[in-house]
Amino acid sequence: MLCDRQKNTNVRLSLPAVCIVWQTAMIILFGVFIRYNEESDAHWIEHRKAKNISSDIENDFYFRYPSFQDVHVMIFVGFGFLMTFLKRYSFGAVGFNFLIAAFGLQWALLMQGWFHSLDYTDGKIKIGIENLINADFCVAGCLIAYGAVLGKVSPVQLLVLTLFGITLFAVEEYIILNLIHARDAGGSMVIHTFGGYYGLAISWMLYRPNLDQSSRLQGSVYHSDVFAMIGTLFLWMFWPSFNSAITDHGDGQHRAAINTYLALASTVLTTMAVSSLFQKHGKLDMVHIQNSTLAGGVAVGTAAEFMLMPYGSLIVGFCCGIVSTLGYIYLTPFMEKHLKIQDTCGIHNLHAMPGVIGGIVGAITAAAATESVYGPEGLINTFDFVGDFKDMVPTQQGGHQAAGICVAICFGVGGGIIVGCILRLPIWGDPADDNCFDDEPYWELPDDEESIPPVLQYNNHMRNKDV
Amino acid sequence: MLCDRQKNTNVRLSLPAVCIVWQTAMIILFGVFIRYNEESDAHWIEHRKAKNISSDIENDFYFRYPSFQDVHVMIFVGFGFLMTFLKRYSFGAVGFNFLIAAFGLQWALLMQGWFHSLDYTDGKIKIGIENLINADFCVAGCLIAYGAVLGKVSPVQLLVLTLFGITLFAVEEYIILNLIHARDAGGSMVIHTFGGYYGLAISWMLYRPNLDQSSRLQGSVYHSDVFAMIGTLFLWMFWPSFNSAITDHGDGQHRAAINTYLALASTVLTTMAVSSLFQKHGKLDMVHIQNSTLAGGVAVGTAAEFMLMPYGSLIVGFCCGIVSTLGYIYLTPFMEKHLKIQDTCGIHNLHAMPGVIGGIVGAITAAAATESVYGPEGLINTFDFVGDFKDMVPTQQGGHQAAGICVAICFGVGGGIIVGCILRLPIWGDPADDNCFDDEPYWELPDDEESIPPVLQYNNHMRNKDV
Amino acid sequence: MLCDRQKNTNVRLSLPAVCIVWQTAMIILFGVFIRYNEESDAHWIEHRKAKNISSDIENDFYFRYPSFQDVHVMIFVGFGFLMTFLKRYSFGAVGFNFLIAAFGLQWALLMQGWFHSLDYTDGKIKIGIENLINADFCVAGCLIAYGAVLGKVSPVQLLVLTLFGITLFAVEEYIILNLIHARDAGGSMVIHTFGGYYGLAISWMLYRPNLDQSSRLQGSVYHSDVFAMIGTLFLWMFWPSFNSAITDHGDGQHRAAINTYLALASTVLTTMAVSSLFQKHGKLDMVHIQNSTLAGGVAVGTAAEFMLMPYGSLIVGFCCGIVSTLGYIYLTPFMEKHLKIQDTCGIHNLHAMPGVIGGIVGAITAAAATESVYGPEGLINTFDFVGDFKDMVPTQQGGHQAAGICVAICFGVGGGIIVGCILRLPIWGDPADDNCFDDEPYWELPDDEESIPPVLQYNNHMRNKDV
């Protein structure tokens, strides 16, 4: 199983060092900067009375906590298990996903906090449930990028990818949401487009020309495909919570959930159709079912809170199921062969393309918004035409949305190239080509022979004696 | 692996055609008919002010969204994984479940919408979170039916089963709930009784006399049984949400959750008891644990919102655990041998029988309701004695409940026979007897040999050389 | 596979008898004692008007139901799947967990009800959603104890363990929370410390000196480790709901969720660090990732509702990841060798130690509380300085918290020794050493040979002929 070209994948010093030092840094930075906000602080009672809030149920916690927990499941079980499809990389898929998400959410609380939740009176970041959701969102961008390099990097590289990814995300998000004033509740642009291109650019920088020689492990087995469906389904089911988690209270959350529910349902049918149509005997391909069925949720991210209309959601899902599945069939092999981009999970088809589509759908929907559809107050609330932006009109908003897509792509590609350069340094303990897609370099693996039924073990025993 | 009697299972034209055409039809119908309701529309703010609603938290979204997500998990992970127990049909179990649920919920929104949510002022169906829950419920009826024919039908047949199933469901539900004015919050009658008999009648029409000859694949392996427990547990845990999802705000939802929680707990103990008692060495049978533990949730569906009392819930669960497990031991083999009903998942024991029991429990509990137990307002609210039904009394309600059971059974059996006839047409690409319970006809399967530990592979290699 | 020293593991009489008799007793006791409380009773409408509650959304159901469902998932999927790591004990792990939790929650409703929810006007226990959560909590203590004896006891022994465990828990909890007036929202003391030492003491009483001879099955296989990660992740993700489920409405729940979220994130990094650092080649050990990553949630249980501060939570998580992982590396082998405590799942590292740490953190945080940090009303609310305890000050509270830890340890160790004595009686059908960690004695197992790829089966066939 070993080969001469094996690299040193021993991370015994680097991994613990990075974990301990960075976690210590988090503690110090949290100590200096992070405090509870007025809804999670023990002074809430006094605050409530001062603001004449009639009941504890008006605390933002009750508006958002159920969605938060759903998003949390998507991040850890959804992304983690979606990547377990490889036959011998399930530990790495779910374990490293766990590691980088746990680190990333802390760093995201700080980075996003400085941009969005800084209380200038005392220089502290004040956090509540919405910050936790946003931190999970921010982490999602990096987990998407992990999908492109799955099986080809060390955990230390992943932590570096996450550190820079979160940082870039927070800046990009601030530019898109605050400076450009684009709306992006479900993150088609800020999460999926950015995360997709970030991962693809890194994968391009880390291109392994001889990888297909060792592709023995780059496939699934029956049970690993079933494990991956756990990830798929939890992502699919909870996507309405993802897209509605930070939208406006009331109709905003309500509408975002409905639109996402419908878009995803539509995607399933067209994914199955295309998957069957393009195989020789009409058989379905698990790769498509595991991934393309989710494209509708990505593509409806930006517009979910708008008056997209139920049929509009279905149309978006319809198109994305087709585009995404065709991407797996034609585009991924093309990109690997001609563009030198090895995209293990096909994030281009699941996140990058649908993300861009979502951005475009958002721009069109915003530009087409009218007062008769939204109501005068509804229009202002939905697009947040207040403060500096109180004179904006929907057509302008459409333009701003389009600008947001460009920023997300630029940050993704540019950031990915820079971070890819850093990750090419020969100090991170990444695996040799022969060790890719294998848990062996980074995990203590159980001896699986015992699990074979007795009769086979006996045969082996006999056989070995003969030999 | 092939045999002469193999049928043509190539669905390369029929499956994509059905998916694309039906999804397109959905888009058109949604475009014509479906709009947001006043709680999910951007005009909500104005509506809120007009109705003097003090806070966004009063939006129905916050009363029902957590339950909705739990129900959603039951539909996709619960039903999907419960059926993964077969050794080589996990892709079909979880994948086709996914497909038909995604189609069914769209069609259900339309069918149920026309009956229940049509706004006569503009001829549009107005949807909100409650419609999504009801669509999931409607889908559940068809997924139950899928359990009876699991492994013996093509995906195209399943889509046809779903199209007619949803249609029948919506009519049956309208008759039971609106015309007869029965109450059935958790759907013992409208979902489980109907779905159960619908599936059994179809399975009877599709009887395969020579099936047991090929039953090599009609069993589980160790890991497939563990996968199935994921389905069982998510159904079991979230059943309180299922039964309380559309009950009255306040005490109605609260009480339904408590009753269901208790009934299910009680069922687990009696299921284990009977499973052990009827095996030669007292060993537990996974089939019972995976299925019969859920019967209490089914049987408490109708009465969950009534004042069933905690001990009443325990009694219902107690009986159903026994009845359902005995059903698996005696009734399923009997039905296969003498009634020509091949019921792969034993839905008669898990849904049909407990559903009827649930209907009866509901009728008795309703007939026995008194003003002293419910309070004058509580009685009116719980049984909805308003409008045309404001002069009804509990004993009458009991009679109406009983009538509901009969309607559900008639629709299930009658509809199933008709749909079964349609499904016998030789155009649907269903598998030959030898291909039943096998993912091979409809799925690209991974080559599993690689997953075998190296020492075994080596042995095979040697062995093959010898041969 | 059999051996001479095999004990009689036939539970065909004892298991059904215990299940049926105890479940019948539950029905009778529930009939005598348990009723709906005013928020789940049909009189709620009248109650609401009398108390001038403006909306149904103020029903406690809406404050706590989402957390309840998360806790429910932790109990059944979390604990159940966490224990599936053994190669041939997945049925027992998830199945017996299911059985004892379903019994335990009923008994817990009664035991805790007598202490906390007895309505003295009519002698009835009035239950609502908070009672269901507390029942699940109570069950958690027994499931922790199950972890120590996993694979070494019969289901009847587990039911006995649960009966006494719940009883002891309810008494201990009453002493700690009501008599001593300690606060323990997330149960570091009452659940984890008690449950941990209860299980360890039982395991000590049931010591099997010759067990390591049969340890062939005491390990994992690749897929069983992935199954266990399902348990780990659902525990990890929903722990914020666990610690916030019964805290005060408003800021209490909000803060508890934030603190737990942060502590758990921090734990993941230090667990990975220590796991890698202490293995020869820096490889990660799945046992640590599956278990120690959860220690931060345990340790922040008591203080989660206090003003622990975000950085405080990170520090607690940081330390517990290290302590718990070192426990797995050094303490578990030491305890097995020198203290005769065989702790299958390492509950000492995951629950007992972190629980004690959590109690200490709670005592310190309480003692250090000041009015400036909490606000005058916040201090009273958070520590419940009302009624008999209205003159208490934070430093006193710190002392009471510390007393709580001692009570929990004493009940755990003392109760465990007594119950261990009972479980040593030779009437419970426990397995012989050679049958430990094997599902075979208590479960009908599927014949797994069919799942082997055809080429292997052919080889076996040939081989067997030769022999």
> pLDDT tens digits, residue range C399-458?
999 999 999 999 999 999 999 999 999 888 899 888 899 999 999 998 775 444 443 444
Residue of A nearest to C239 (CA): A69
Chain C residues closer than 8 Å to B288 by CB: none
pLDDT at C213: 57
Residue of A nearest to C267 (CA): A102
pLDDT in tens, A192-214: 999 999 999 999 999 998 887 55
Could you tell me the CATH number of the domain that includes residue B444? 1.10.3430.10
Tell which wins on pLDDT, A3 or A200.
A200
Q: Do A148 and A89 contact (CB within 8 A), yes or no?
A: no
For residue A1, tell me if it sits in a domain: no
Q: Nearest 5°: phi and psi at B61? A: -50, -45
Q: Is residue A42 less than 8 Å (CB to CB) from chain C?
A: yes
- Return mean pLDDT, chain B: 91
Q: Is residue C16 less than 8 Å (CB to CB) from chain A?
A: no
Contact B132 A272 (CB under 8 A): no
Q: Which residues of A301-325 are buried (b: 16+ CB within 10 A; e: fewer)?
A: bbbbbbbbbbbbbbbbbbbbbbbbb
Q: Which region holds residue C387: left if phi is over 0, alpha if psi is between -120 and 50, else beta?
A: left
User: How many Cβ atoms from other residues are within 10 Å of residue A360's Cβ?
Assistant: 18
Segment A91-100 mean pLDDT: 96
Structural tokens at position C290: 């599956």
Percent of chain C with pLDDT over 70: 94
Residue B426's contacts (CB-CB under 8 Å, 6 or more residues apart) are: none
* C-alpha span between B135 and B187 (Å, rounded): 13
* C-alpha span between C243 and A75 (Å, rounded): 20
pLDDT at B2: 41
* C-alpha span between C203 and C152 (Å, rounded): 9
For residue C215, give its domain range.
14-466
* C-alpha span between C372 and C394 (Å, rounded): 12
User: How many Cβ atoms from other residues are within 10 Å of residue B284's Cβ?
Assistant: 25
Q: Is residue C89 less than 8 Å (CB to CB) from chain B?
A: no
Q: Do C335 and C343 contact (CB within 8 A), yes or no?
A: yes
pLDDT in tens, C206-257: 999 888 755 678 889 999 999 999 999 999 999 999 999 999 999 999 999 9
Q: Is residue C417 less than 8 Å (CB to CB) from chain B?
A: no
pLDDT at C11: 87
Contact B378 C31 (CB under 8 A): no
Q: Which residues of A417-441 are buried (b: 16+ CB within 10 A; e: fewer)?
A: eebbeebeeeebbbbbbbbbbbbbb
Q: Nearest 5°: phi and psi at C312? A: -60, -40
* C-alpha span between B251 and C44 (Å, rounded): 6
* C-alpha span between C374 and C379 (Å, rounded): 5
User: How many Cβ atoms from other residues are within 10 Å of residue A465's Cβ?
Assistant: 7
Helix (H) or strand (E) holding C36: strand C34-36
Judged by DSSP in three states, B176 sits in helix
Closest CA to A282 of B106, B448, B428: B428
Query: What count of CB pairs under 8 Å joins A to C?
Result: 250
For residue C3, tell me if it sits in a domain: no
Chains in contact with B via at least 3 Cβ–Cβ pairs below 8 Å: A, C
pLDDT in tens, A276-301: 999 888 999 999 999 999 999 999 99
Judged by DSSP in three states, C34 sits in strand
Low-confidence ranges of chain B (pLDDT < 50): 1-4, 450-467
Beta bridge partners of B125: B34, B118
Q: Nearest 5°: phi and psi at B36? A: -70, 150
pLDDT at C280: 83
Q: Nearest 5°: phi and psi at C125? A: -85, 125
pLDDT at A242: 97
Comparing CB atoms, the residue among B230, B234, B315 nearest residue C27 is B315
CA distance A12 to chain C (A): 4
Comparing CB atoms, the residue among A219, A279, A284 nearest residue B446 is A219
Q: Nearest 5°: phi and psi at A125? A: -85, 125
Contact C61 B234 (CB under 8 A): no
Q: Do B259 and B303 contact (CB within 8 A), yes or no?
A: yes
Residue A243's contacts (CB-CB under 8 Å, 6 or more residues apart) are: A185, A186, A256, A257, A259, A260, A297, A300, A301, A304, A305
Contact B94 A377 (CB under 8 A): no
Q: Is residue A220 less than 8 Å (CB to CB) from chain C?
A: no
pLDDT band (50, 70, 90) for residue C5: low
Contact C95 B373 (CB under 8 A): no
In the predicted structure, residue C352 carries a pLDDT above the cut 80: yes
| Amino acid, res. C254 | H
Q: Do B191 and B141 contact (CB within 8 A), yes or no?
A: yes
Structural tokens at position C134: 């507390």
Q: Is residue B368 less than 8 Å (CB to CB) from chain C?
A: no
pLDDT at A467: 34
CA distance B462 to chain A (A): 9
For residue C5, tell me if it sits in a domain: no
Structural tokens at position A461: 């025993």
Q: Do C135 and C105 contact (CB within 8 A), yes or no?
A: yes
Pairing of strands C118-119, C34-36: unpaired
Chains in contact with A via at least 3 Cβ–Cβ pairs below 8 Å: B, C
- Return mean pLDDT, chain A: 91
> Using CB atoms within 10 A of its CB, is residue C4 exposed (0-12), middle (13-18) or buried (19+)?
exposed
pLDDT in tens, A131-147: 999 999 999 999 999 99
* C-alpha span between B443 and B431 (Å, rounded): 13
pLDDT at B192: 97
Q: Is residue B227 less than 8 Å (CB to CB) from chain A?
A: yes
Comparing CB atoms, the residue among A19, A73, A109 nearest residue C237 is A73
What is the DSSP code string of C174-207? Answer: IIIIIIS----TT-IIIIIIHHHHHHHHHHHHT-
* C-alpha span between C66 and B66 (Å, rounded): 6
For residue B443, tell me if it sits in a domain: yes
CA distance B111 to chain C (A): 30
Chains in contact with C via at least 3 Cβ–Cβ pairs below 8 Å: A, B
Q: Is residue B223 less than 8 Å (CB to CB) from chain A?
A: yes
pLDDT in tens, C302-326: 999 999 999 999 999 999 999 999 9
Q: Is residue C286 less than 8 Å (CB to CB) from chain A?
A: yes
Beta bridge partners of B35: B126
pLDDT at B452: 43
Residue of A nearest to B109 (CA): A262
For residue B374, tell me if it sits in a domain: yes
Q: Which residues of A9-41 are buried (b: 16+ CB within 10 A; e: fewer)?
A: bbbbebbbebbbebbeebbebbeebbbbbbbbb
User: How many Cβ atoms from other residues are within 10 Å of residue A60's Cβ?
Assistant: 16
- Return mean pLDDT, chain C: 91
pLDDT in tens, C44-99: 999 999 999 989 999 999 999 999 999 999 999 999 999 999 999 999 999 999 99
Judged by DSSP in three states, A301 sits in coil
For residue A96, tell me if it sits in a domain: yes
CA distance C222 to chain B (A): 10
Residue of C nearest to A455 (CA): C460
Total length of chain A: 467
Q: Is residue C82 less than 8 Å (CB to CB) from chain B?
A: no
* C-alpha span between C187 and C408 (Å, rounded): 10
In the predicted structure, residue A399 carries a pLDDT above the cut 80: yes
Residue C427's contacts (CB-CB under 8 Å, 6 or more residues apart) are: C14
For residue B25, tell me if it sits in a domain: no
pLDDT in tens, A368-379: 999 999 998 899
- In whole angstroms, how large is the CA radius of gyration of chain A? 23
Q: Is residue A465 less than 8 Å (CB to CB) from chain C?
A: no
Contact A265 B94 (CB under 8 A): no
Beta bridge partners of A35: A126
* C-alpha span between C248 and C379 (Å, rounded): 12
Total length of chain C: 467
pLDDT at C458: 40
* C-alpha span between A187 and A183 (Å, rounded): 9
Comparing CB atoms, the residue among A23, A55, A459 nearest residue C460 is A459
pLDDT in tens, A41-52: 999 999 999 999
Q: Is residue A385 less than 8 Å (CB to CB) from chain B?
A: no
What is the DSSP code string of C266-315? Answer: HHHHHHHHHHHHTSTT--B-HHHHHHGGGHHHHHTTTGGGS---HHHHHH
In the predicted structure, residue A415 carries a pLDDT above the cut 50: yes
- Please tell me the total count of domains within chain A: 1
* C-alpha span between C235 and B20 (Å, rounded): 41
Residue of A nearest to B100 (CA): A269
For residue B30, tell me if it sits in a domain: no
Contact B283 C443 (CB under 8 A): yes
Lowest model confidence (mean pLDDT) among A1-5, A236-240, A247-251, B423-427: A1-5
* C-alpha span between C160 and C240 (Å, rounded): 31
* C-alpha span between C338 and C341 (Å, rounded): 8
CA distance C324 to chain A (A): 15
pLDDT at A460: 40
Q: Is residue C290 less than 8 Å (CB to CB) from chain A?
A: no
Residue B185's contacts (CB-CB under 8 Å, 6 or more residues apart) are: B243, B244, B246, B247, B252, B256, B301, B302, B304, B305
* C-alpha span between C259 and C358 (Å, rounded): 13
